[in-house]
Structure 1
C-alpha cells in the first residue's frame, strides 16, 4: 500500500484497520511538524506549565458570567479552551478518519504536504480518572476521552493526548519520540496538490467546514469555500 493518499479510496485501503476491535485515533495536519501540543510547539524545552495555568485562570475570569464554563472542573475547562483556540498541553485526535483527512487538507496549501497520523491504542495509554486528578500533574503522556461539553468536540469525535513537561528530559517529548507511543503510530502523506480535490470528495460525504465547526462561523466559512474564497 502506498504511503500517499490521493483520493478517498486510497484512504479506505486502511479498512482492515478500521474494522479492528482496537480503538484507533486519527490526526490530520496541513503540514509536517512534530506531534507537540500547541503550548510547546514554539520551544518544547520551555516549561510552560505555570503559563498555561495562568492562561486558563484568565479565561475563567473573562468567562465568569458563563455559568456552564464556570461550573466545569479543570479537565473540562482545558478541553473547552482547546477547542476554542487556547494554547494548551492537549493535542487533538479523532475517532473519525474522515475528520482527520479534512484537517490534513483544509489549509489548501499546495506547497506543503499534509499528514495523517493513526495511533493503534493499547490499554496502558489511557487516562485513569481515579488517579489522574489534574492535567498538570501527570507522570507521563496519556490519552483522554473528554466529556462532550461543546459542539466541536461532538462533531469532530474529539479525543486528546495530554502531554507533560518532562523534568528528566527537560522538554515536552513529542509523541513520535515517546517510547510508549512511537511503535503504535502510523503515518500517511497527503500530497499538497491533492488537498483541494480531497476536500471536494469529503464534502460529498458531509465532511466540511460547516460540519467540523458547527455554528454561524463554520457555516460562513463553508459558504466562502463553496464560492472559491479562502
Structure 2
C-alpha cells in the first residue's frame, strides 16, 4: 500500500512533483514532511519516545510507571491538556471553539473527563473536542491529531528546514485523502478521519493549508472501566503509526490505488531545497504571515550556506 520513490537531487524531486513532471496525478493527496526518514506517523501525545514529556505537560502529575501506558490514564491526560489550553485561552479573551463538555465546568482548575456514565461506548476524541484539539495541535500542544497540508511545497518547507546539517534521508509523505474519504463499497471503511478547522482567525493555518488526521478509539463507560480494572483487565494505549493502522484495515486485494507514497531525499540536499523554495515563494514570511515570519526568514538565511 506504500509506494516509495527515492531521489538523489532536489531538482529531481521538484521536477517529479511539478505539473509538467513525470509524477502520477497527486490530486486528492495530502502531504506531511519529516526531516528524518526514521520518524513515524505517530501523533505527539502518543509517541513512545516522549512519554515523560507528555506527562510533564498534562497537568495531572505522572502516575506509576505501569499506568503511564494504560489507555484510561492516557485519555484522562489528553483531556486535561485540552481543557487547560481551552481554559487559559478563554481567560485571556482569545476566541475558542464551542465545546459544551469543556465549558460546562470551566470555573474549577481541574476537572476529570466529563464522559457520561452509560453502558454504551464513546469515541475519543469526541466530535465536541475536535476543533479545540486542532487549534491546540497547531500551536504545539500534544494531541492525538497529526498535521498534514494540502500543499506539497509546504510539506517540503518543514522537511527541509528540519533536515539542514543532518545526516540520512528526509521524507515527504503523501496520503490519498480523496480515496479514503470515499471508499468503494467493496472495501472495508478505514477508521481515519480528516479535520479541516476554520482558517478564519488563524493566518498561519491558512497560509500552510493545514488539516489533521484523527484515528478515533472507542472507550467504555466509566462503570465498565472500573469493573475491568477491578478484574485486572487493562487496555494499553495503542501507539501504532498511522500507515500501519491504515494497512491493517485496507483490503489487501485492492492494489489498484496507492494509499500512501513516500518521497525520499538525502538530507544533504535540504539547504539547496530551502534556497529553491525561497525562489518559489515558499519562505518563512509566507508560511508564518506576520513579523515573526519576516524575522525568521532574514535570520535563517545563513543556515543554507
**Shared fold (TM-score, shorter chain, > 0.5):** yes
Which structure 2 residues correspond to residues 51-200 of structure 1 after superposition, within 5 A? 51-73=77-99, 74-107=129-162, 108-125=164-181, 140-149=191-200, 150-165=202-217, 170-178=237-245, 179=247, 180=249, 184-200=259-275
Structure 2 CA distance for partners of 1:85 and 1:2, relative to 1, 3 Å: closer
Structure 2 CA distance for partners of 1:208 and 1:166, relative to 1, 3 Å: farther
SS of 1:33's partner is coil
Is it true that 1:213 corresponds to 2:288 in the alignment? yes
TM-score (ref. length: structure 2) = 0.62
Verify the 8 A CA contact 2:41 2:241 in the aligned structure 1.
yes
Structure 1 residue 17 displacement after superposition: 5.1
**Alpha-carbon distance in structure 2 between the residues aligned to 1:18 and 1:93:** 20
Verify the 8 A CA contact 1:165 1:171 in the aligned structure 2.
no
**Alpha-carbon distance in structure 1 between the residues aligned to 2:43 and 2:269:** 26
Moved over 4 A (4+): 15-20, 43-46, 165-170, 180-183
**Alpha-carbon distance in structure 1 between the residues aligned to 2:289 and 2:11:** 23
Structure 2 unaligned residues grouped into runs of 5+: 52-68, 100-128, 183-189, 220-234, 253-257
Is it true that 1:12 corresponds to 2:68 in the alignment? no
Q: Which residue in 2 is equivalent to 1:23?
A: 28
Structure 2 CA distance for partners of 1:192 and 1:141, relative to 1, 3 Å: same
Structure 1 residue 65 displacement after superposition: 3.4
Structure 1 residue 53 displacement after superposition: 1.0
Structure 2 CA distance for partners of 1:113 and 1:53, relative to 1, 3 Å: same
Radius of gyration: which is bigger? 2
Structure 2 CA distance for partners of 1:151 and 1:190, relative to 1, 3 Å: same
Structure 1 unaligned residues grouped into runs of 5+: 127-138
TM-score (ref. length: structure 1) = 0.80
Structure 2 CA distance for partners of 1:113 and 1:76, relative to 1, 3 Å: same
CA deviation string 1:86-121 (max 9, x = no partner): 111111111111111111111213314211111123
**Alpha-carbon distance in structure 1 between the residues aligned to 2:216 and 2:5:** 34
Q: How many residues align?
A: 217
